[in-house]
A and B are shown apart, each in its own frame.
Chain A
Amino acid sequence: MVSSGQPAAPSFAAWAGSVAELCDAVDRLTPVAAALGVADGSTAAWHGALYGKLRPQVSREPLLVAAVCGGTNTGKSLITNSLVGSGISRSTPEAARTLHPVASLARGVAARTDLAALFPGFRPVAWRGEADAVDAAAADVLVWREDPGGAQPEKLVVLDTPDIDGTLRENWHRAELVRNAADVIVAVLTQQKYNDAAVRDFFAAAAAAGKTVIVVFNMVDWPRQRERIAGWLATFATETGVAAAAVYAGPHDFDAAEAGRIALIPLPELTPGGAEVSLAERLATCDFDRIKRQAMAGAMRVVADPTQGLAAWLDAIDRSAAGWRDAQRLLEREGRVQVELPAPPREIVWDEVWTWLEPRRSAIDLVVSGGYRTVGQGMSWAARRLGIGRTAAERKEDFAATELEALKRALADFIDRLDDACRRDERLGRLLGPRLATADRQAWYADLERRHEALPLVSDDYRTFVRTELDRFAAANPGMVKAVLTGLTVGSVVRPVMTLALFSAGAAAVPAAAGVLHHVLDFGVTVAAPLAGEGAVAAASQGIRPLIERLFAGWSAERGRILAETLHDVVLGDGVEEIGRLAASGSRPELVRARQLLVECSRECG
């Protein structure tokens, strides 16, 4: 499957396609997962196997990647140099000096291979000198050199890597990226480090991903410690699951190391098959296709692992989305305030009704009601003179002030409730908490004041709404116009109670007021407008009551809308839509598709 000359795996093309599609699905899910607060997948083993191994290598010219890995100052660079036959990576007495991986390629490979795609996470740069590997100014580069001697096998890539246990954590990360891409790992161990936790973890991951591991015990006090090596290797194998393909010993020789020389002695007694071949020769002559297949299958195993693999990440997305659905329900329950608006000046509604009625009334009606009007005006003039009455303008001013205050109280209540919800649900706390804590709340109230100021007591929208309602009423109840007149003289007033709620757009209770009520996205405004002075109206007519209630409700809903707008536009911003999106993200098609592809890929891989 990796060699073009070996059509052993008929489903290979399909597999490559599935892997690519799987990667696409994961790419699309990655921002979703990040928004959901799911742990970053890019540090997980499955991610390394999928993006570092499978995707770059499944459809490319098969190269066998052999990487020399180990702890600080264990002689990796020295061993690499000896493998490639000349100084490619500087070897120093100081620890953790190799900062960048250095790759030795066969001639012509660089020209026909996209090295950046083969080693994701690195920017390939051509080798200039030994010092490239220790250049502290460069970042995330992979230095490559084509073998000047021409002895390197065509398909072999040999890499020196940074350390895996030093104080520079970037080095670990770079070594992990190289390890993910590798097929063969030359594990450089020493008696000080073979059982260090950091070393164990690194090579255990390599073993789990099906890499072929060759063990080099370096800096051995030779031959005194020769007998010890079997014990060390056994511990290492038990701890990491590594079944060493071959074992070598590098005797401690300070002077030789200073001179850039190292001798690696094969240990046939610890090597399966017992062959006594040099490390360089072993790398050159190994069964490339088998090792490559094994590494690809191993990578697929890591991706498909039910508890640690991609499936676990997908499960975490599901779980987190479910958590967000709970959070949304909490907001639905708690994000609900009741606004007790003051009783509106009754002429606000009645004047509109009056205007509508004017052309429809008989002369007698006009005289009678005109008389009422005159008397009423006279009485209110007298009351004002005595200091106990208010002018219409003053009443409107009083109403506006009281109404604004009611809206402010509702806003304060709503913010309190949001604060509470954020404390009770840490997801909401993460999403809305910073906004609630750092925003300039004075600006929220200023925004509400501005909107309130800008809203006329009776808007054109509302006038249209009243006319439409009355036209409809008149059409349905031809005889009732008179009753409306009675209602007018009785002058009933409602005291509306409005409920403003998050996520309940579907439950608005003023369907007739649809012309007035623009739902502000996720807010629903519900108005109950019980009629005061009910007895009188009831006496006049039962049929008129719902109409009057609706007229007042429509008016109140329009008032309440400004609060909804403030809440939406300045307090919550897009936070509410975000919560809705997150709660819905559990049902995204990519999730289902990713699971299908995962199953397909593992099946095709066998």
Chain B
Amino acid sequence: MEPTTGSPPPTPAPEPDFAAFDLLIDALGRWAPAGPAWPPARRVKSEWEGVAPRLDKARLELSRVLVVGVVGGTGTGKSTLVNALAGSEVTTAGDVARPTTINPVVVAARDVDVSWLPLDAMQARLVRSDSPAVANIVLVDCPDPDTQAVVETPPAAASKPSATNRNRDLLEAVLPACDVLLLVSTAQKYRSWIVAREVAAFAPGRPLLFVQTHASRDPDIRGDWRMELESQGFDVPRIFRIDGVEAAARAAAGLEPEAGFRELVAAIDGELAGRAARRVRRTGALDLAAWFTRQARGDLAASGEPVAALAAGVETERGRLEAILARSIGETLRANRSAWQRLIADDVVARWQGGPFASFLHVIAALGSFWNRVRPGTGVVGRLLAGQSVSGAGAARDGGWKAVEELGLPAGEVEQSRSVLAGLAARAGIQEPLVGRARLDDAAAATATAALVDRAGAWLSAGIDRLVVERRGRVGRPAIHWLFEGLFSALLVTVLVRAGWNFFHGNLWEGRPVSGIGFLEEAIVWVILWGLLLRWLVFALVRLGLDRDIQGLVGSVASSRLVDPLLADFSSAASAVSTWIDEGTRLGAEGDRLAAACGETPGLGRLRRPAT
């Protein structure tokens, strides 16, 4: 911020918010090169590489004098105007041959240090001048853009003098050094296509002055030129109209300059010299930054929809694969009824100690364990239900897919999803290496499937444990235990009471003969049958509502992000790209806000919009 001491500036305008501007440049400097390996991001990066040095320069060289490039078509009087401003013939002007100026001429006051100007690269000649008009600026008489062939000269025509004309190339080497453009034109040339093209390429971030020359010969075309410039996207506060020949003659004769020329000199003095230079430089830099963000947003605008479509596609495909997985796991869980029974009931039985029914169950369980050895669990789910652990590393040894297919997710379905996503990614311009191919290569497949099996193992075993604990708690309650013990004991007691009644009442009291152990044999069969019925009841209790609980378990598959590892490249690419685009949009809005808040430079033109 400039101190507010001394006399106020002649054109009070709000100062640009320099601190916010510096923050914006820093943020852009972090954002632009950090894009993902994605063609639009690469374009933005390379555009930034063109813009960044200029922005840096604007910040570092705030206090240097402005370099004003005089540009325009051949014959429009650039050199004549430079001579008039310099007050003497510093560069050749005339009508002998076109083009007249080939090597640029740099005009500077004697006390101005121009060692920082790359005169060699510009192939320029330095001339010192004492004229007050150039006391506080550096003036460059630029080569014309319109005499060099637009398309490369064919070898057959290489003998023509114009084949060696490199004026436009030279101009393009000079313009980067200029801070301000002084666009000179005439009635014949103000609608020149090639001049418009060159100026448009260098105008972003460079304020402009517009000058119609040949005032004494040509009609005043400023109204029409203004319309033309505005259609090219320029803000045109004013256009000067001068006659360079006359001005140079007057300057040489020591006469007072005529009005148009006086206004131009005054504008240079007021808008470009001294403290105004600082403002021009900052405004130019801000314009350049805003221009860059606008270009970048234009570049990225078309990508927003396809990237969003990719992100949505990842969700859809994830959902599809999860549904396949959930259906298949649910079926397997339900089909392994006996495994559930064992898992829950065995534990319940193990905890029921004491009592005849518990003893009965233990005996049956001991017999059943032989059968379990004969048929261990198969598949990932079967192994989990059989109480074995499942690890992705183990699965990866089998090439990865086997374990995943055991879980019920065929490789073909995964490849279908990846192929669909590859199409969506291609539409968004996202390709390898950001995303892989439809068919995962062996290494990627091993990693992804191992991760999937790990996640599935963890999720399933946690889910199964939860379910089992909950059921064990319900069925294994002491009340239930004692209820079954009671029911079982009831038959035992009945048998014993009946045996006692037969002996004491029938035999001893009524004297009937003892019926032998035949009754007890019969009774044992009934007890065993009763015990088995009760055991079945226990299992029925265990199974009651199991299907619903399994449904609930597989319903949580979405929250467990099981299939994420298979689509990870697509989802991370989509999120990386959209995050980056969002950040760009935010910075662009900030750039627009700053540019809008920044004061106008009343007398200078600016390129604000792309051509209509």
Give me the interface of A with B, judged by CB distance under 8 Å: 71-74, 93-96, 163, 165-169, 172, 190-198, 200-201, 219, 221, 225, 228, 231-232, 235, 238-239, 252, 254, 258, 307-308, 401-402, 404-409, 411-413, 415-416, 419, 423, 433, 436-439, 441-442, 445
Contact = CB atoms under 8 A, between A and B. Distances in A.
B438 A408 contact: no
Contact of B147 (A94, A197, A436): A197
Interface in B63-114: 73-76, 95-99
Contacts of A406: 412
A507 B95 CA distance: 76
Contacts of B438: 412-413, 415-416
Contacts of B431: 423
Q: List the 4 closest pairs (A to B, CB-CB), nearest first.
A: A192-B75, A405-B412, A412-B415, A93-B219
B428 to A, nearest CB: 9
A196 B73 contact: yes
B592 interface: no
Given A72-B188, A419-B426, 20 more contacts: A165-B193, A165-B194, A167-B192, A167-B196, A167-B232, A169-B193, A190-B188, A192-B74, A192-B188, A195-B99, A196-B74, A201-B150, A228-B96, A405-B413, A408-B412, A412-B438, A413-B415, A413-B439, A415-B419, A416-B439
B439 A191 contact: no
A254 B187 CA distance: 12
Contact of A409 (B160, B218, B415): B415
Contacts of B146: 165, 196-198
B423 interface: yes
B416 A191 contact: no
Contact of B411 (A72, A165, A409, A437): A409
8 contacts: A73-B187, A190-B75, A190-B188, A228-B95, A412-B419, A413-B415, A437-B427, A445-B420
Interface of B: 73-76, 95-99, 146-150, 154, 156, 160-162, 186-194, 196, 217-219, 221, 224, 228, 232, 316, 410-413, 415-416, 418-420, 422-424, 426-427, 431, 437-439
Contacts of A411: 416, 419
A338 to B, nearest CB: 13
A166 B221 CA distance: 15
A524 B123 CA distance: 66
Contacts of A71: 188, 192
From A165, A228, A231, residue with most partner B Cβ within 10 Å: A165
Given A93-B219, A252-B217, A437-B426, A200 B75 contact: no
A197 B150 contact: yes
B97 to A, nearest CB: 7
A225 B426 CA distance: 64
Contacts of B228: 167
A95 B147 contact: no
B98 A238 contact: no
Contacts of A201: 149-150
A235 B161 CA distance: 8
A362 to B, nearest CB: 45
Contacts of A439: 423
A437 to B, nearest CB: 4
B383 to A, nearest CB: 17
Contacts of B188: 71-74, 95, 190, 192-193, 219
Contacts of B419: 411-412, 415-416, 441, 445
Contacts of B412: 404-409, 412
B422 A225 contact: no
A242 B484 CA distance: 119
B148 A197 contact: yes
Contacts of A166: 191-193
Contact of B98 (A169, A191, A308, A401): A191
Given A192-B76, A409-B412, A239 B161 contact: yes
A193 B76 CA distance: 10
B422 A192 contact: no
Contacts of B411: 405, 409
A235 B415 contact: no
B160 A408 contact: no
A308 B186 CA distance: 36
Contact of A197 (B162, B224, B316, B437): B162
B320 to A, nearest CB: 9
**Interface of chain A, main secondary structure:** helix
Given A72-B188, A405-B411, A415-B419, A191 B75 contact: yes
Chain B contact residues, majority secondary structure: loop
A231 B221 contact: no
B191 A405 contact: no
A438 B221 contact: no
A307 B157 CA distance: 13
Given A94-B221, A412-B418, A436-B426, A405 B410 contact: yes
B191 A95 contact: yes
A91 B73 CA distance: 23
B577 to A, nearest CB: 16
A201 B148 CA distance: 11
Contact of A235 (B76, B98, B187, B232): B98
Contacts of A172: 193
A239 B162 CA distance: 7
A94 to B, nearest CB: 4
A200 B192 contact: no
A192 B427 contact: no
A405 B414 CA distance: 10
Contacts of B439: 409, 412-413, 416
Contacts of B219: 93, 254, 258
A372 to B, nearest CB: 30
Given A198-B146, A442-B420, A94 B224 contact: yes
B394 to A, nearest CB: 24
A454 B99 CA distance: 77
A85 B437 CA distance: 74
A254 B193 contact: no
A568 to B, nearest CB: 17
B416 A445 contact: yes
Contacts of A238: 160-161
A219 B187 CA distance: 12
Given A228-B95, A408-B412, A165 B192 contact: yes
Contacts of B73: 192, 196
A416 B147 contact: no
A192 B416 contact: no
A442 B418 CA distance: 11
Contacts of B162: 195, 197, 200, 239
Given A94-B224, A95-B221, A238-B161, A167 B426 contact: no
A441 B423 contact: yes
Contact of A192 (B186, B193, B410, B423): B186
Q: Which of A96, A401, A406 has the most CB of B within 10 A?
A: A96
Contacts of A235: 97-98, 161
A192 B185 CA distance: 11
A433 B97 CA distance: 53
Contacts of A73: 187-188, 191
B148 to A, nearest CB: 6
B243 to A, nearest CB: 13
B323 to A, nearest CB: 14
Among A232, A408, A438, residue most surrounded by chain B Cβ atoms (within 10 Å): A408
Nearest to B188: A73
A172 B196 CA distance: 15
A412 B439 CA distance: 7
A396 B373 CA distance: 32
Contacts of B410: 401-402, 405
Given A413-B438, A419-B426, A198 B193 contact: yes
Contacts of A94: 221, 224
A408 B189 CA distance: 65
